[in-house]
């Protein structure tokens, strides 16, 4: 359990070597640069034009990858997340980077092709719309554009309501009684309306159209001097032409899909270039030299200093940071604790006065996760799955995924342990299978300790005992932190009175739940032993706990207000310390009841699923029903409760444990590195 020791790096180097040095630092990813406070005589150079060009090229490459994903999607297996990114050396990176201009040209070509395909799709929509507008007129054998001869005129249009020829002629006769030279032809008619062609004398065309409009007439779309059939045929031809072009573009893009890796490398290389330009803008320089200051882990300092001086012509100084510096934090833990560093980071990294809490919380984290999931069958699934991944992929997994795999492996083992203690193997599946299918009223896998669903009070007491141990461990960490920071008296006054007071009041608290007597029927041998041990301890403390409590309360009154200068202040602080201790620990200990609640939820839901699967009485249907409900039900139960176990285990660490000794507030170490998606350089830390 440790925060890595950090050192400061200061270097001065020729300006001509700036690019090479930044390339080295970015690929190694072990230095966090910072803007120096004193920049007299130095200037910051901006690279706005280069940055804009790089971002434009990066956007084009990302757009090209999106195009390939649409036209030539890659089907990735579920195990794809376990596959590492391709590892690059500096030499292979330089070799690929030489082809970058050609790849950027490819991305722009893909963008142009997709734009053309989109234009073709838009044109298909437009032509389809025009075609649909003309479909009602397709039986008309005259041009759609209303026209006339020397003496006659014709009008094409439609009515919103269904009309017959006789209705229209009658209506026109009433509107134009002096005009009997009108002919109407119904082109098409349905419940939505009627399409008609009206013939009349040329000099009466305007009057006839006005009369028709009064009846709800509207002109047909005057598209061209073509018949509707000819117009529709032209639209069909345009649609086929655009569809063919889309097929050609799709085939061309598919042929370029084999160059996807080039585009992926270009995306990473351009992101690296953009980050490098941004970092370079924050590094001051003169006409001849540049100056860089930053932080790096002590274990990498000598290696970096040697390379900068020997290979880059830089003058590099490694030194201890001053006490008032805001030094970044980088955690480093062993095999068992490293997977939980992310849990610490989600809360807050340790400040200067803190110890790294990752190691101290590790045992209880895995212990509590298993208690809350608490089904040995589920634990076996988790442990076997993550263990298999570890065996097959441990040499290729990236650090973050590797830690996740290890964390859930240990959580799975803890779940198997507690599931066996409670006798929960996919709920009560062993007993149900024996009873329903083997017709034997036995439980092949009885609890090693007790059944949490039926023996809730005794399990609850165990949860409180473990919770109290967890809180005491936090108090010990407080004492250790005080000793580490030179506050030895604080370590004594903040730990011993707390221990005495809580130990003194604990038997009274546990007595509220303890039933005493003989172990319940069906207890295992281990459960019986634990029951009697707890009973003996409870009885033994019955005569002395009052004296322990008095001693603890007295010490709290005497020491809790020691920061005050007045007698009244010291006494008031002491009394408040007693109140705060009792109320705080009462609420904290009760919080550990969630260990029972979530464990019971997992077990009860599992039992319900098993019961539902055996509801059918038909001997043929019952096994099928049980299998289907078993797989689906327990999969859902595992998915839901693994989330609950994760969330509430974190809560117990953050709220109950960390509050006893941990302040946090540290700043994460953010090195200048290659933030890439598809490729990676060899990890240094």
pLDDT 10s digits, 433-442? 999 888 888 8
448 Cβ contact partners less than 8 Å away, ≥ 6 residues apart = 420, 421, 423, 524, 526, 527
β-bridge partners, 43: 285
Eight-class DSSP state of 486: T
Confidence category of residue 684, pLDDT binned at 50, 70, 90: low
pLDDT score at 333: 92
pLDDT 10s digits, 35-82? 887 777 888 888 899 999 999 999 999 999 999 998 888 887 767 677
If you count them, how many residues does the chain have? Answer: 685
Please compute the mean of the pLDDT values over residues 433-456 and round it to a whole number.
88
pLDDT score at 626: 92
DSSP secondary structure letters along 310-349: HHS--EEEEEPPPTTS---B-EE--TTTGGGHHHHHHH-B
pLDDT score at 685: 47
The answer, yes or no, to whether residue 506 has pLDDT greater than 80, is no
pLDDT 10s digits, 523-553? 777 777 777 777 777 777 667 777 877 888 8
Tokens of 438: 């083997």
d(CA 7, CA 27): 19
pLDDT score at 522: 63
pLDDT 10s digits, 293-317? 999 999 999 999 999 999 888 999 9
pLDDT score at 511: 67
- Tokens 């490398």, residue? 265
**Which carries the bigger pLDDT value, residue 682 or residue 157?**
157
Please compute the mean of the pLDDT values over residues 156-185 and round it to a whole number.
82
The answer to whether the beta carbons of residues 231 and 134 sit under 8 Å apart is yes
pLDDT score at 145: 64
Report the SS3 class of residue 291: strand
Share of the chain above pLDDT 70, in %: 95
pLDDT score at 512: 63
- CATH number given to 146-222: 3.30.70.2750
Tokens of 23: 């390339």
Confidence category of residue 406, pLDDT binned at 50, 70, 90: very high
Tokens of 181: 């030279």
The mean pLDDT of the chain is: 87
Point out the least confidently predicted range of 96-100, 362-366, 642-646: 96-100
Torsion angle of C-alpha atoms 197, 199, 205, 211, degrees rounded to 10 = -60
The answer to whether the beta carbons of residues 625 and 613 sit under 8 Å apart is yes
d(CA 286, CA 145): 76
d(CA 314, CA 202): 96
Domain ranges of the chain: 146-222, 331-426+622-667, 452-592
pLDDT score at 516: 65
Closest alpha carbon to 140 in 199, 92, 93, 187: 187
Specify the DSSP element, H or E, that contains 137: none
d(CA 364, CA 371): 10
Report the SS3 class of residue 428: strand
The answer, yes or no, to whether residue 360 has pLDDT greater than 70, is yes
The answer, yes or no, to whether residue 237 has pLDDT greater than 90, is yes
d(CA 220, CA 303): 83
The answer, yes or no, to whether residue 174 has pLDDT greater than 90, is no
pTM of full prediction above 0.85: no
The answer, yes or no, to whether residue 340 has pLDDT greater than 90, is yes
Please compute the mean of the pLDDT values over residues 395-411 and round it to a whole number.
91
Confidence category of residue 267, pLDDT binned at 50, 70, 90: very high
| CB neighbourhood size of 642 (10 A) | 20
Longest Cα separation, the chain: 127
Angle at 634 between CA 633 and CA 638, to 5 degrees: 125
The answer to whether the beta carbons of residues 427 and 374 sit under 8 Å apart is no
**Which carries the bigger pLDDT value, residue 460 or residue 513?**
460
The answer, yes or no, to whether residue 461 has pLDDT greater than 70, is yes
d(CA 274, CA 268): 10
d(CA 304, CA 290): 17
Sign of the Cα torsion 536, 542, 548, 552 reads positive
d(CA 232, CA 179): 35
pLDDT score at 227: 78
pLDDT score at 418: 96
pLDDT score at 144: 65
**Which carries the bigger pLDDT value, residue 214 or residue 344?**
344
283 Cβ contact partners less than 8 Å away, ≥ 6 residues apart = 18, 22, 33, 44, 290, 291, 292
Percent helix, strand, coil in the chain (nearest 5)? 60, 10, 25
Tokens of 50: 């280069």
d(CA 455, CA 471): 25
The answer to whether the beta carbons of residues 600 and 588 sit under 8 Å apart is no
Please compute the mean of the pLDDT values over residues 617-638 and round it to a whole number.
92
């Amino acid at each position: 359990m440790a925060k890595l020791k950090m050192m400061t790096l200061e270097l001065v180097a020729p300006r001509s070597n700036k690019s090479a040095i930044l390339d080295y630092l970015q690929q190694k990813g072990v230095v966090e640069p910072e803007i120096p406070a004193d920049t007299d005589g130095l200037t910051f150079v901006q690279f706005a034009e280069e940055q804009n060009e790089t971002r434009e090229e990066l956007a084009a490459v990302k757009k090209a990858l999106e195009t390939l994903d649409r036209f030539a999607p890659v089907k990735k297996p579920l195990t794809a997340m376990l596959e590492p990114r391709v590892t690059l050396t500096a030499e292979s990176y330089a070799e690929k980077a030489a082809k970058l201009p050609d790849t950027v040209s490819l991305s722009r070509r893909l963008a142009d092709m997709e734009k053309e395909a989109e234009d073709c799709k838009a044109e298909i929509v437009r032509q389809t719309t025009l075609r649909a507008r003309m479909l009602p007129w397709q039986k008309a054998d005259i041009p759609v554009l209303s026209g006339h001869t020397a003496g006659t005129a014709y009008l094409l249009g439609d009515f919103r309501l269904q009309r017959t020829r006789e209705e229209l002629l009658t209506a026109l006769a009433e509107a134009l009684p002096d005009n009997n030279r009108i002919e109407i032809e119904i082109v098409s008619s349905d419940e939505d309306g009627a399409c008609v062609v009206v013939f009349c004398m040329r000099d009466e065309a305007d009057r006839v159209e006005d009369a028709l409009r009064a009846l709800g007439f509207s002109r047909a779309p005057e598209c061209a001097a073509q018949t509707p059939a000819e117009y529709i045929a032209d639209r069909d031809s345009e649609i086929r032409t655009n569809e063919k072009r889309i097929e050609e573009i799709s085939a061309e893009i598919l042929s370029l899909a084999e160059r996807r890796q080039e585009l992926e490398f270009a995306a990473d290389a351009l992101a690296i270039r953009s980050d490098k330009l941004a970092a370079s803008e924050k590094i001051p320089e003169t006409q001849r030299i540049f100056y860089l200051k930053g932080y790096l882990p002590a274990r990498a300092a000598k290696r970096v200093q040697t390379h900068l001086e020997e290979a880059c012509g830089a003058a590099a100084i490694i030194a201890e940071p001053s006490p008032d510096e805001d030094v970044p934090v980088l955690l480093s833990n062993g095999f068992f604790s490293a997977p939980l560093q992310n849990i610490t980071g989600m809360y807050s990294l340790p400040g200067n006065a803190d110890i790294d809490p990752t190691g101290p919380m590790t045992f209880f984290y895995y212990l509590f996760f298993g208690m809350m999931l608490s089904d040995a069958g589920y634990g076996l699934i988790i442990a076997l799955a993550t263990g298999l991944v570890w065996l097959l992929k441990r040499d290729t997994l990236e650090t973050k995924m590797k830690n996740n795999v290890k964390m859930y492996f240990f959580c799975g083992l803890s779940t198997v342990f507690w599931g066996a203690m409670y006798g929960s193997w996919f709920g009560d599946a062993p007993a149900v299978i024996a009873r329903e299918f083997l017709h034997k009223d036995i439980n092949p896998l009885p609890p090693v300790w007790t059944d949490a669903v039926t023996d809730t009070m005794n399990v609850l007491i165990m949860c409180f005992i473990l919770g109290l141990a967890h809180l005491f461990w936090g108090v010990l960490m407080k004492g250790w932190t005080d000793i580490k920071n030179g506050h030895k008296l604080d370590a004594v006054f903040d730990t011993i009175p707390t221990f005495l007071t809580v130990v003194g009041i604990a038997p009274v608290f546990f007595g509220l739940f303890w039933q005493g007597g003989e172990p319940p029927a069906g207890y295992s041998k281990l459960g019986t032993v634990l029951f009697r041990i707890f009973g003996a301890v409870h009885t033994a403390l019955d005569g002395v706990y009052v004296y322990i409590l008095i001693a603890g309360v007295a010490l709290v009154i005497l020491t809790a207000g020691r920061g005050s200068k007045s007698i009244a202040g010291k006494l008031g602080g002491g009394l408040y310390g007693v109140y705060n201790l009792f109320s705080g620990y009462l609420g904290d200990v009760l919080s550990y009841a969630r260990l029972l609640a979530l464990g019971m939820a997992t077990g009860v839901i599992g039992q319900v699923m098993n019961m539902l699967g055996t509801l059918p009485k038909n001997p043929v249907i019952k096994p099928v029903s049980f299998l289907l409900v078993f797989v689906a039900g327990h999969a859902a139960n595992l998915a839901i409760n693994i989330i609950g176990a994760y969330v509430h285990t974190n809560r117990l660490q953050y709220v109950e444990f960390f509050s006893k000794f941990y302040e946090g507030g540290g700043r994460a170490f953010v090195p200048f590195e290659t933030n890439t998606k598809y490729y990676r350089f060899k990890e240094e830390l």
